């Protein structure tokens, strides 16, 4: 546009060639007039008719300078024109601009490093990424479950619960981004307290912690080696992560009580790779086997078969990988991490069936020890009994502590570090009193034999009416 406007402005001067000759005879010989004359003669030289070749030849030395000036002016005009168009777009096409911004926010381009932007702000339209959607396994008599994916009735039921599925997906996306961040910096030599606090700080930011509406679902488990589950450091714990450690990172997020329970194992020494492969394969097998009307005992039998097919060689000794028989997966309810049903990882479990609309944490534990755990070490995990009624409390400190727990955690699990974070101190006697009364349940660390190694992988699955969604699935596992 700028170039076209410039040509239209100079054309009248080209047509009035005679007048220009007269003007030049009596013109002032100042520099400004000379420059104007050179520009006009340049334009005359480019005109197809009415040009004065003698005049152009006479001032050939100045034409080069004039051309440079014209090119510079043209570039400046073009830049101004483009700036004007951008300003115009902001005013006139503001709706279009907003649409473009929405598209940008829809992806993950807006996330920072380290992650700090809440997931709800990355996806302002509420369309959170779905997990891995799978067809349900065929029934025992060979009937396919593919009809569920095309059934209009099941699709309507799916949409009716869309708000619930969306809460799970938001919490799952926060979990994916946090664990990806943790993998980028976790290394030997770090204290377990530092690892847990950095992970939890990031998780709180991404989930946009808001009381009981959004936050952490349970304390970060970082059980090491023979300790399989329920260990998180208390204040003053000096434990340091080492190169030859097998560390299970198990943490949860929730939105409106819809909990994502997902775990993975971190190692630095490649000698443990086969152990991790066995447990990861067993977990994926359990996920594949799970589905509506599937018996829980069948899932456990399949998991055991896969896990025990692996052998691992560690420091010259060969071990069969054993499933830890007294650790299980479980159903998940609103604000309730263990909501009643257990998913065994060995054969011989309950014949109870999975049902439509339920949510499960499918987790497996593999061990080089005896394949069973017991309570050991100092307790750090606690959780209010979901079914407890009114219990009279005599100790004023215990009453106060229960109020703090109800206000900040409800029926979600918590740890002593989190009570410290709330400003509580000298609460151990009150906490013991609440445990003795059955209001709070302690969950001490669960350990196999010393010297053994344990690994864990876990995912949360949604048994939607139309399909099974592994909502916490990511590119990592």
DSSP-assigned letters across all residues of 342-363: EE-SSSS---PBP-TT-EEEEE
For 403-409, what is the mean pLDDT? 97
Tokens of 104: 């940008």
Distance, in Å, from the CA atom of 198 to the CA atom of 202, rounded to the nearest integer, reads 6
pLDDT in tens, 259-275: 999 999 999 999 999 99
User: Which residue in 132, 209, 244, 338 is the catalytic one?
Assistant: 338
Distance, in Å, from the CA atom of 128 to the CA atom of 253, rounded to the nearest integer, reads 15
User: Which residue in 167, 173, 448, 458 is the catalytic one?
Assistant: 458
User: Which residue in 363, 424, 448, 469 is the catalytic one?
Assistant: 363
Distance, in Å, from the CA atom of 246 to the CA atom of 224, rounded to the nearest integer, reads 6
Asked if residue 114 has a cis previous peptide bond (ω within 30° of 0), the answer is: yes
Beta-carbon contacts of residue 279 (< 8 Å; ≥ 6 apart)? 265, 307, 321, 364, 365, 366, 455, 456, 457
User: Which residue in 245, 261, 281, 298 is the catalytic one?
Assistant: 261
CB 302 within 8 A of CB 349: no
| Catalytic status, residue 8 | no
pLDDT in tens, 148-158: 999 999 999 99
| Catalytic status, residue 230 | no
Query: For residue 431, what is the enclosing H or E element?
Result: helix 428-436
Give the pLDDT confidence score for residue 115 in this predicted structure: 96
pLDDT in tens, 421-440: 999 999 999 999 999 999 99
For residue 165, the tally of other CB atoms under 10 A from its CB is 20
CB 144 within 8 A of CB 182: no
pLDDT in tens, 443-477: 999 999 999 999 999 999 999 999 999 999 999 99
Give the pLDDT confidence score for residue 110 in this predicted structure: 86
pLDDT in tens, 183-222: 999 999 999 999 999 999 999 999 999 999 999 999 999 9
For residue 228, the tally of other CB atoms under 10 A from its CB is 29
User: Which residue in 167, 250, 424, 469 is the catalytic one?
Assistant: 250
| Cα Rg of the chain (Å, integer) | 35
Distance, in Å, from the CA atom of 109 to the CA atom of 128, rounded to the nearest integer, reads 14
22 burial (CB, 10 Å; 0-12 / 13-18 / 19+) is: exposed
| Catalytic status, residue 23 | no
Distances (CA, A) of 198 to 202, 208, 263: 6, 15, 17
| Catalytic status, residue 330 | yes
Query: For residue 397, what is the enclosing H or E element?
Result: helix 396-408
């Amino acid at each position: 546009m700028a170039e076209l406007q410039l040509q239209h402005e100079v054309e009248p001067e080209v047509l009035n060639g005679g007048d220009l000759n007269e003007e030049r005879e009596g013109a002032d010989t100042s520099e400004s007039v000379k420059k104007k004359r050179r520009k006009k003669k340049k334009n005359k030289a480019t005109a197809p008719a009415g040009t004065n070749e003698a005049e152009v030849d006479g001032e050939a030395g100045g034409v080069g300078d004039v051309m440079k000036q014209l090119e510079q002016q043209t570039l400046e005009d073009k830049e101004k024109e483009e700036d004007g168009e951008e300003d115009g777009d902001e005013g006139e096409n503001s709706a279009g601009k907003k649409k473009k911004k929405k598209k940008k926010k829809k992806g993950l381009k807006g996330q920072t490093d380290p992650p700090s932007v809440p997931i709800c702000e990355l996806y302002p339209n509420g369309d959170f990424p779905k997990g891995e959607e799978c067809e349900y396994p065929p029934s025992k008599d060979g009937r396919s479950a593919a009809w569920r994916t095309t059934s209009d009735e099941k699709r309507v039921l799916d949409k009716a619960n869309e708000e619930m599925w969306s809460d799970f997906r938001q919490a799952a996306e926060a979990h994916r981004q946090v664990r990806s961040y943790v993998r980028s910096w976790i290394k030997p030599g770090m204290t377990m307290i530092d690892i847990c606090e950095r992970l939890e700080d990031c998780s709180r930011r991404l989930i946009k912690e808001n009381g009981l509406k959004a936050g952490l679902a349970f304390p970060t488990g970082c059980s090491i080696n023979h300790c399989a589950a329920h260990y998180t450091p208390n204040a003053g714990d000096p434990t340091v992560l080492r190169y030859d450690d097998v560390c299970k990172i198990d943490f949860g997020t929730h939105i409106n009580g819809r909990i994502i329970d997902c775990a993975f194992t971190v190692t630095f020494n490649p000698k443990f790779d086969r152990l991790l492969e066995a447990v990861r394969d067993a977990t994926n097998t359990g996920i594949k086997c799970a589905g509506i009307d599937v018996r829980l005992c069948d899932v456990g039998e399949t998991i055991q078969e896969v896990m025990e097919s692996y052998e691992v060689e560690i420091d010259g000794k060969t071990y069969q990988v054993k499933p830890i028989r007294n650790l299980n997966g479980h159903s998940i309810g609103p604000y309730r991490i263990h909501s009643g049903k257990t998913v065994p990882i060995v054969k011989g479990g309950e014949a109870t069936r999975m049902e439509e609309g339920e949510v499960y944490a499918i987790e497996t534990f593999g061990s080089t020890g005896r394949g069973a755990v017991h309570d050991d070490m100092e307790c750090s995990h606690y959780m209010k009994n979901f079914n407890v009624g009114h219990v009279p409390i005599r100790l004023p400190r215990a009453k106060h502590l229960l109020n703090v727990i109800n206000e900040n955690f409800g029926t979600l699990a918590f740890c002593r570090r989190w009570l410290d974070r709330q400003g509580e101190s000298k609460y151990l006697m009150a906490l013991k009193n609440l445990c003795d009364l059955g209001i709070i349940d302690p969950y001490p660390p669960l350990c196999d034999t010393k010297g053994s190694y344990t690994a864990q992988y876990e995912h949360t699955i949604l048994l939607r009416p139309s399909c099974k969604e592994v909502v916490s699935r990511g590119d990592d596992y």
